Amino acid sequence: MLPKHIGIIMDGNGRWAQQQGKPRLYGHQVGANRAKDIVLAARDRGIGYVTLFAFSTENWKRPISEVQGLFLLMEEFFRENADELAESGVKVNVIGDRSRLPRSIRTVAANAERITANASRIIVNIALNYGGRWDVASALRRIAEDVAAGRLDASDIDEDLISSRLATAGQPDPDLIIRTGGESRISNFMLWQAAYAEIYVTQTLWPDFRDEDLDAAISFFLSRTRRYGGLKTAPHNGRGEGG
Ligand code: FPP
């Protein structure tokens, strides 16, 4: 079975730009265009959910000029692409701590969510100022508030309840995570949700990642599924049998 939800750690924009003798931001710009094309390719292949790691809670450590450039790029991305994404059946959902983001991004991101709200072919989560630990901590804080207010009992807290309070509430967990740029780290991406994901690492730098590379990642996923298929009922059922 195809993956239901693909998470993508889009790494290597800076190195790619450097190889071309261009500024790092140029790599991010080409990377943003790639992101759009890959979402459309995932839609055409019948994938229901894609999560793109666009800005992590750790990315604030980069030089201010790069952070500001990334924000400008993202603002432009939302502004210029929202209508086309809506027409293409792509529903945009921004996940992450919005409170620290510039107001201008919060506004265009909310507009993109509104414009694409009725699209139903694929949901794309754009992780902005997102970290897996932030996600779990926020969920636990809300649960603790409910317990303190008497709306929940501590004994109600189980895995499903925690999942239902994460930024991806109601969505299937990612069953395939792609990382470009060759590093084999999860880098604080969807820590809770990735518990049973297959992880596909490619040396390809994100701006070079093409539809064929997506197909290679999906084939990898399918081969992993097949490997366990004869032995256990369902390796990707989120509960670990065979996983
Ligand atoms: C990692 O490459 C990439 C990022 C930190 C930013 C990813 C952002 C985009 C692709 C643009 C925005 C996308 C959307 C969907 C709005 P790196 O800079 O760490 O590369 P390096 O490892 O080669 O230095």
The CATH number linked to 116 is 3.40.1180.10
Q: Which residues are annotated as catalytic?
A: 11, 59
With the most atoms of ligand 1 within 8 angstroms of its CB, the residue from 6, 8, 9, 10 to mutate is 10
Residue 44 has pLDDT above 90, yes or no: yes
Quote the tokens at residue 233: 């009922």
Residue 37 CB contacts under 8 Å (≥ 6 apart), including other chains: 211
> Is residue 16 one of the residues assigned to a domain?
yes
Quote the tokens at residue 30: 């080409």
> Is residue 12 one of the residues assigned to a domain?
yes
pLDDT score, position 102: 95
Residue 200 has pLDDT above 60, yes or no: yes
With the most atoms of ligand 1 within 8 angstroms of its CB, the residue from 6, 8, 9, 13 to mutate is 13
For the chain, the 3-state helix, strand and coil shares in percent, each to the nearest 5, are: 50, 15, 35
> Is residue 112 one of the residues assigned to a domain?
yes
CB contact burial 76-96 (16+ within 10 A = b; e otherwise)? ebbeebbeebbebebbbbbbb
| Average of per-residue pLDDT across 107-117 | 98
pLDDT score, position 225: 77
What's the alpha-carbon Rg for the chain, to the nearest Å? 18
pLDDT score, position 228: 62
What residues are paired with 179 via a beta bridge? 9, 201
Say what percent of the chain tops pLDDT 90: 92
pLDDT digits over 212-235, tens only?
999 999 999 999 977 766 665 555
Q: Identify the band that residue 242 occupies on the pLDDT scale cut at 50, 70 and 90.
A: very low
> Is residue 158 one of the residues assigned to a domain?
no
Q: Residue 20 Cα, ligand 1 centroid: separation in angstroms?
A: 16
Contact 69, 59 (CB under 8 A): no
> Is residue 87 one of the residues assigned to a domain?
yes
Q: Would you give the end-to-end CA distance of the chain in angstroms? A: 15
pLDDT digits over 143-180, tens only?
999 999 999 999 999 999 999 999 999 999 999 999 99
The identity of residue 49, as a single letter, is Y
At CA 195, angle to CA 117 and CA 109, rounded to 5?
Answer: 25
What residues are paired with 51 via a beta bridge? 7, 125
Residue 79 has pLDDT above 60, yes or no: yes
Q: Identify the band that residue 239 occupies on the pLDDT scale cut at 50, 70 and 90.
A: very low
- 69: Cβ below 6 Å to ligand 1? no
Higher pLDDT, 61 or 240: 61
Q: Residue 130 Cα, ligand 1 centroid: separation in angstroms?
A: 13
Residue 74 has pLDDT above 50, yes or no: yes
pLDDT score, position 238: 46
> Across all residues in the chain, what is the average pLDDT?
94
In the three-class reduction of DSSP (H, G, I as helix; E, B as strand; rest coil), residue 90 is classed as strand
Q: Identify the band that residue 241 occupies on the pLDDT scale cut at 50, 70 and 90.
A: very low
Q: How many domains does the chain have?
A: 1
What is the rounded CA–CA span in Å between residue 110 and residue 40?
A: 21
Q: Residue 12 Cα, ligand 1 centroid: separation in angstroms?
A: 7
Residue 97 has pLDDT above 90, yes or no: yes
Say what percent of the chain tops pLDDT 70: 93
Sign of CA dihedral 21, 29, 53, 206: negative
Residue ranges making up the domain that contains 57: 5-132+172-240
> Is residue 157 one of the residues assigned to a domain?
no
Q: Identify the band that residue 86 occupies on the pLDDT scale cut at 50, 70 and 90.
A: very high
Residue 121 has pLDDT above 60, yes or no: yes
| Average of per-residue pLDDT across 75-79 | 97
Edge-first strand order for the sheet with 90-95 is: 90-95, 122-130, 49-56, 5-9, 176-179, 198-201
> Is residue 162 one of the residues assigned to a domain?
no
> Is residue 32 one of the residues assigned to a domain?
yes
